[in-house]
């Protein structure tokens, strides 16, 4: 099977694959993770809020977005954001949104739903007495969240947050539907140009496997360390 | 100092507090006791607004707790509270626990807060543990840190919610000693506890609660001598029986 396997195509294209493709994938993953965790934490605080409308809005948002395939959300956003932007800015023509901005926005909005549920569990894992103790010392809601609850919730949830980020890293490959040159996109371009589909897609799979396997091992070790500290 | 007048509270249709009224004067030590589920913890949590109540009013130093216009965080910063489960912040060192609210709420400088924190830590006999995490301290030590943390805020009154109930028996006294000392220095204190020995030593008044009502509110001598209510007599005979 590997008799006419052409390793040369990898040799010729790896710079392009990594410096253009993987660089995009990593950048999108990291920004989407940061944005998703911030937005997701806010959603989690809303879902747990005693103000019913806030809880309802966040709950509906999370449940709706989680019931739609990610590919569809990516498409929708890509084609709708220019028009929504035009509507918000009261402009007559659709605004120009780059592929990166559009896909970043999509992933932040989408992944926030999953980070929200993780942070919700994290916040709920902190005993109520901790909040009471914060309040009793005169801290406000935001202060006791920022100084007492969230730091502990993050620490408890760190392994799950990172696992979700590994999923995100894989999900980012779906932007190929927008013809964006992420890692998979770059590989498929080379593959089709050189007619070396098997080689390129095998190579991509190996890299993804290696990266994700290494990351999940890291998470496992982290988990063990946290368990000792607590 | 603390004035509770006609406070009632419901959880849904279940009434946990019924028309509770009492007062704690400046420098007075009031012990609240009663069987579990009698509403004593709920009542003390109403005093600094940790638990909302639906009827009646509570004022602390003349400021209404129930009034929606009251700046609750500001009022709470002036009332110290000690919890049954200590509730030290486990992700912070003892020193950070002591200085956090001083810096964030009172706006003290880091140095000032640290000096105050260490002085109070020394007072509860734990100066050597300043850089440890709460998880590395015994229950009794954690509770003494929690008392020091509350005292750091220079409170006008201290609330204790069953401060020794979660402790191993051999650690109860080290916490009570700190509380006795505090009482003797003239701190205004409202203490929910089953420690009748503590009540005998330092309480001015004892309040007995049952089923959400204040059944007995008497001077210490009267309460331990001749409790008026049958319910309090029964409780006392049980709790002092062994």
Q: Which residue of A has its CA nearest to B155?
A: A137
Chain A contact probe: residue of B65, B90, B154 with most A CBs at under 10 A: B90
Q: Which residues contact A40 (CB under 8 A, 6 or more apart)?
A: A111, A112, A113, A114, A115, A116, A118, A119
User: What is the average pLDDT across A138-161?
Assistant: 94
Report angle CA B110, B79, B41 to the nearest 5 degrees: 130
| Res A12: pLDDT | 85
For chain B, positions 129-158, list CB contacts with chain A under 8 A. 135, 149-150, 153
Q: How many other CB atoms are there within 10 angstroms of residue A195's CB atom?
A: 11
**Bridge partner list, B219:** B205
- Altogether, the residues listed in chain A come to a count of 230
Chain B contact probe: residue of A122, A129, A136, A149 with most B CBs at under 10 A: A136
Rounded to a whole number, what is the distance in Å from the CA of A217 to chain B's nearest CA?
A: 25
User: What is the average pLDDT across B181-209?
Assistant: 94
Rounded to a whole number, what is the distance in Å from the CA of B86 to chain A's nearest CA?
A: 9
A112, two tokens: 């926030």
| Res A203: pLDDT | 92
User: What is the average pLDDT across B149-173?
Assistant: 95
A8, two tokens: 């040369």
pLDDT digits (tens, 9 = 90+) for B69-123: 999 999 999 999 999 999 999 999 999 999 999 999 999 999 999 999 999 999 9
Ranking A113-122, B93-102, B218-227 by mean pLDDT, the lowest is B218-227
Kindly list the residues from chain B whose CB atom is less than 8 angstroms away from the CB atom of residue A143: 104-105
Rounded to a whole number, what is the distance in Å from the CA of A162 to chain B's nearest CA?
A: 20
| Res B241: pLDDT | 63
Rounded to a whole number, what is the distance in Å from the CA of B169 to chain A's nearest CA?
A: 23
Q: Is the pLDDT of residue A89 over 70?
A: yes
Secondary structure letter of residue A18 according to DSSP? I
| Res A10: pLDDT | 84
| Res A206: pLDDT | 94
Q: Which residue of A has its CA nearest to B151?
A: A137
Contact yes or no for B83 and A230 at CB 8 A? no
Q: Is the pLDDT of residue A227 over 80?
A: no
pLDDT digits (tens, 9 = 90+) for A176-200: 888 888 999 999 998 888 888 888 9
- Average pLDDT taken over every residue of chain B: 94
Contact yes or no for A127 and B87 at CB 8 A? yes
Q: Which residue of B has its CA nearest to A147?
A: B100
B94, two tokens: 């003892």
> For residues A210 and B104, what is the distance between their CA atoms, to the nearest angstrom?
46
Residue B200: pLDDT band by 50, 70, 90 thresholds? very high
Question: Are the beta carbons of B233 and B212 closer than 8 angstroms?
Answer: no
| Res A2: pLDDT | 64
Q: Is A208 exposed, middle or buried (0-12, 13-18, 19+ CB in 10 A)?
A: middle
Residue B240: pLDDT band by 50, 70, 90 thresholds? confident
> For residues B133 and B80, what is the distance between their CA atoms, to the nearest angstrom?
22
User: What is the average pLDDT across B211-231?
Assistant: 89
| Res A228: pLDDT | 53
Whether B85 and chain A come into contact, CB under 8 Å, resolves to yes
**Rounded (10°) angle between helices A183-194 and A23-47:** 150
Q: Is the pLDDT of residue A24 over 70?
A: yes
Of the candidates B47, B48, B80, the residue with the CA atom closest to the CA atom of residue B149: B80
| Res A116: pLDDT | 97
> For residues A101 and A111, what is the distance between their CA atoms, to the nearest angstrom?
15
CB half-sphere exposure, B128, CA atoms < 13 A: 4
Question: Are the beta carbons of B32 and B190 closer than 8 angstroms?
Answer: yes
Of the candidates B169, B141, B185, B155, the residue with the CA atom closest to the CA atom of residue B76: B155
Of the candidates B189, B132, B139, B199, the residue with the CA atom closest to the CA atom of residue B164: B139
**Rounded (10°) angle between helices A197-229 and A183-194:** 160
Question: Are the beta carbons of A133 and B89 closer than 8 angstroms?
Answer: yes
Alpha helix ranges (H) inside chain A: 8-15, 23-47, 52-66, 70-88, 99-124, 128-136, 141-144, 150-171, 183-194, 197-229
B162, two tokens: 């069953």
Residue A100: pLDDT band by 50, 70, 90 thresholds? confident
Q: Which residue of B has its CA nearest to A143?
A: B104
Q: How many other CB atoms are there within 10 angstroms of residue B78's CB atom?
A: 17
Residue B230: pLDDT band by 50, 70, 90 thresholds? confident
Q: Is the pLDDT of residue B132 over 70?
A: yes
Query: If you search the block for the tokens 């509730």, which residue do you land on?
Result: B87
Whether A125 and chain B come into contact, CB under 8 Å, resolves to no
Q: Is the pLDDT of residue A230 over 70?
A: no
Of the candidates B146, B173, B171, the residue with the CA atom closest to the CA atom of residue B80: B146
| Res A82: pLDDT | 84
| Res B189: pLDDT | 97
Strand, helix or coil at A209?
helix
For chain A, positions 201-230, list CB contacts with chain B under 8 A. 230
Whether A133 and chain B come into contact, CB under 8 Å, resolves to yes
């Amino acid at each position: 099977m590997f008799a006419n396997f052409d390793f040369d195509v990898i040799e010729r294209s790896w710079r392009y694959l990594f410096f253009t493709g993987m660089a995009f994938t990593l950048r999108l993953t990291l920004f989407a993770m940061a944005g998703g965790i911030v937005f997701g934490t806010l959603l989690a605080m809303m879902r747990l809020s005693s103000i019913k409308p806030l809880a309802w809005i966040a709950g509906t948002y999370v449940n709706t977005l989680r019931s739609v395939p990610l590919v569809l959300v990516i498409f929708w956003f890509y084609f709708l954001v220019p028009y929504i932007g035009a509507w918000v800015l009261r402009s007559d023509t659709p605004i120009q949104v780059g592929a990166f901005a559009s896909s970043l926005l999509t992933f932040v909005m989408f992944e926030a739903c999953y980070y929200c549920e993780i942070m919700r569990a994290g916040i709920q894992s902190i005993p109520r007495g901790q909040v009471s103790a914060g309040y009793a010392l005169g801290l406000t809601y935001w202060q006791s969240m920022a100084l007492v609850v969230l730091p502990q919730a993050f620490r408890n949830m760190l392994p799950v947050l990172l696992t979700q980020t590994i999923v995100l890293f894989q999900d980012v490959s779906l932007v190929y539907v927008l013809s964006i040159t992420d890692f998979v996109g770059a590989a498929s371009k080379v593959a089709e140009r050189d007619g070396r589909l098997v080689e390129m897609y095998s190579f991509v799979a190996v890299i993804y496997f290696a990266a994700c396997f290494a990351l999940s091992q890291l998470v496992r070790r982290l988990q063990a360390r946290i368990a000792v500290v607590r | 100092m603390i004035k509770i007048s006609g406070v009632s509270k419901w959880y849904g249709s279940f009434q946990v507090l019924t028309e509770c009224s009492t007062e704690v004067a400046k420098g007075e030590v009031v012990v609240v006791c009663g069987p579990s589920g009698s509403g004593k913890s709920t009542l003390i949590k109403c005093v600094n607004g940790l638990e909302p109540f639906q009827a009646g009013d509570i004022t602390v130093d003349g400021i209404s707790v129930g009034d929606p216009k009251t700046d609750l965080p500001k009022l709470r910063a002036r009332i110290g509270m000690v919890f049954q489960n200590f509730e030290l912040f486990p992700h912070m060192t003892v020193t950070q626990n002591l200085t956090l609210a001083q810096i964030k709420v009172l706006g003290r400088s880091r140095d000032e807060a640290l000096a105050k924190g260490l002085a109070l830590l020394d007072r509860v006999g734990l100066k050597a543990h300043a850089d440890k995490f709460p998880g590395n301290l015994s229950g009794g030590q954690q509770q003494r840190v929690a008392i020091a943390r509350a005292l750091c805020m220079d409170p006008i009154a201290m609330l204790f919610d069953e401060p020794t109930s979660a402790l191993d028996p051999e650690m109860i006294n080290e916490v009570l000693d700190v509380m006795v000392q505090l009482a003797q220095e003239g701190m205004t204190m409202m203490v929910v506890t089953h420690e009748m020995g503590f009540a005998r030593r330092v309480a001015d008044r004892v309040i007995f609660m049952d089923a959400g009502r204040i059944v007995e509110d008497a001077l210490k001598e009267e309460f331990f001598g001749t409790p008026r209510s049958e319910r309090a007599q029964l409780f006392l005979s049980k709790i002092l029986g062994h």
